């Protein structure tokens, strides 16, 4: 490879590296801010000039509080407590000589301190997958959808694997 080719290759690689690593130096408001957990004063940047070739060509300093509909003030700490848990699905996790009985539960938690500046973010729900019983050391694909588990629970399944 000639010296000219090496220099050209070096310049191209260096320019590409600068583009890749310059994007990693900022905290983009769209990807870094979360209304449930971000501080109102958390620093982030917003793209104010987008180009087809470079992507974002110019950023503007901002905070998650300026960018989001809700945020956590610096002087408040959320205290998340479970307020409800509802089983929406049950299914069998089976293997050759054992099985696990799964509960798919919709869980709601609420911040008893009401920290967020927007009351819409004082609670949220998520889907939890819990193993509540099992059958172990039994031959040939035991079912965790009928009979009793090793912990004594009666087992049944509705086949739902998610909360939606």
Does the pLDDT of residue 101 top 80, yes or no? yes
Give the bridge partners for 108, in sequence order: 84, 125
Phi-psi region of 60 (alpha: psi -120 to 50; beta: other; left: phi over 0): beta
End-to-end CA distance of the chain: 59
pLDDT tens for each residue of 26-51: 568 889 999 999 999 999 999 988 88
Per-residue confidence band for 16, with pLDDT thresholds at 50, 70 and 90 = very low
Residue with the larger pLDDT of the pair 16 and 72: 72
Does the pLDDT of residue 113 top 80, yes or no? yes
pLDDT tens for each residue of 3-12: 544 444 444 4
Q: Which range (12-26, 79-93, 112-126) has the least confidence? A: 12-26
From start to end of 11-122, where are the E strands? Answer: 43-51, 55-63, 80-94, 99-111
Measured distance CA(25)–CA(149) in Å, rounded: 53
Measured distance CA(35)–CA(70) in Å, rounded: 5
Measured distance CA(152)–CA(137) in Å, rounded: 15
Is 139:95 a contact under the CB 8 Å cutoff?
no
């Amino acid at each position: 490879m000639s010296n000219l080719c090496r220099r050209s290759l070096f310049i191209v690689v260096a320019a590409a590296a600068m583009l890749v690593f310059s994007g990693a130096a900022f905290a983009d408001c769209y990807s870094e801010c979360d209304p449930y957990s971000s501080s109102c004063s958390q620093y982030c940047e917003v793209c104010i000039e987008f180009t087809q070739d470079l992507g974002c060509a110019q950023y503007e300093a901002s905070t998650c509080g300026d960018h989001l509909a809700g945020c956590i003030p610096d002087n408040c700490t959320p205290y998340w407590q479970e307020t409800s848990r509802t089983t929406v699905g049950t299914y069998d996790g089976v293997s050759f000589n054992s099985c696990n009985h799964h509960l798919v539960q919709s869980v709601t938690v609420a911040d008893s301190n009401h920290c967020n500046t927007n009351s819409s973010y004082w609670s949220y729900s998520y889907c939890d997958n819990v193993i509540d019983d099992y059958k172990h050391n039994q031959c040939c694909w035991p079912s965790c959808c009928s009979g009793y588990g090793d912990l004594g629970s009666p087992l049944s399944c509705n086949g739902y694997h998610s909360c939606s």
